[in-house]
Homo-oligomer: A and B are copies of this chain.
Amino acid sequence: MSHSRLPTRQSAEIRQAEMVQAVLHLAARQEPASITTTEIAKVVGLSQGAVFRHFPNKQAIWLSVAQWLTANLLPLIQTAAQSSPNPLTSLANIYCTHLQFVQENPGVPRFIFHELQQPNDSPIKQEVASMLQTYSGILIGVLQQAKASQQALPNLDERSAATLFIGSIQGLVMQAMLQGSTATLEPMSLGVWDLYLSAIRQHA
């Protein structure tokens, strides 16, 4: 009979990163609120007690996830925002980048929604909220450029346009959740993007 093999010892830094990935992996298939430390430990391949060697409490894990999100999504969006001299092209690239990120990390939309739902202003919610704030800011900047170059409607309300941008992706995500997989994201995404463009563009 074989004992379960002892895990190779890893540095705290590595274990922390593994647990953040474990949470995202689990969030892809279940409600974030229902993720337990036991499940996280099992995914990483450690005992439940080991979780608390690397995080003081469960909240700290979630905060790490939020920080991972900020550190990984925002640079992608930033880069996409500056990817073209044409603001509308940049906007399209942000859209694609965001969708690709969601497809590669299906747990992310659930995590975000889960945290925004919280009534209290935990550090976690603040982190997520400020991330979305920054995201919106980037969008508004690109939209202003589009307006300045007369590619967008001259009376465009950038804040509403940013809300609709994020909402359009949210709508696709909901559609995907209805079917139960992120496979549905791709086919619909082009049609929705065409509509968004039609909403803000200066029509001939």
Contacts and interface: CB of A to CB of B under 8 A. Distances in A.
A94 to B, nearest CB: 15
A74 interface: no
Most chain B C-beta atoms within 10 Å of own C-beta, residue among A167, A180, A191, A194: A167
Most chain B C-beta atoms within 10 Å of own C-beta, residue among A30, A153, A160, A198: A160
Contacts of A133: 178
Most chain B C-beta atoms within 10 Å of own C-beta, residue among A30, A31, A117, A168: A117
B191 A200 contact: no
Contact of A117 (B31, B132, B159): B31
Where chain A touches its partner, the secondary structure class is helix
A177 to B, nearest CB: 4
Interface string A165-196: 11111111011011010000000100110111
Interface string A34-60: 100000000000000000000000000
B160 A192 contact: yes
Contacts of A129: 178
How extensive is the interface on chain A, given as a class?
35 or more
A37 to B, nearest CB: 16
Question: How many identical chains are in the complex?
Answer: 2
Contacts of A169: 167
B168 A164 contact: yes
Nearest to A114: B31
24 contacts: A31-B33, A31-B114, A113-B174, A116-B174, A116-B178, A157-B191, A157-B194, A160-B195, A161-B195, A163-B168, A163-B171, A163-B172, A163-B175, A163-B188, A165-B171, A166-B171, A167-B170, A167-B171, A167-B172, A167-B174, A170-B171, A195-B199, A196-B199, A198-B198
Interface of A: 29-31, 33-34, 110, 113-114, 116-119, 121, 129, 132-133, 153, 157, 159-161, 163-172, 174-175, 177-178, 180, 188, 191-192, 194-196, 198-200, 203
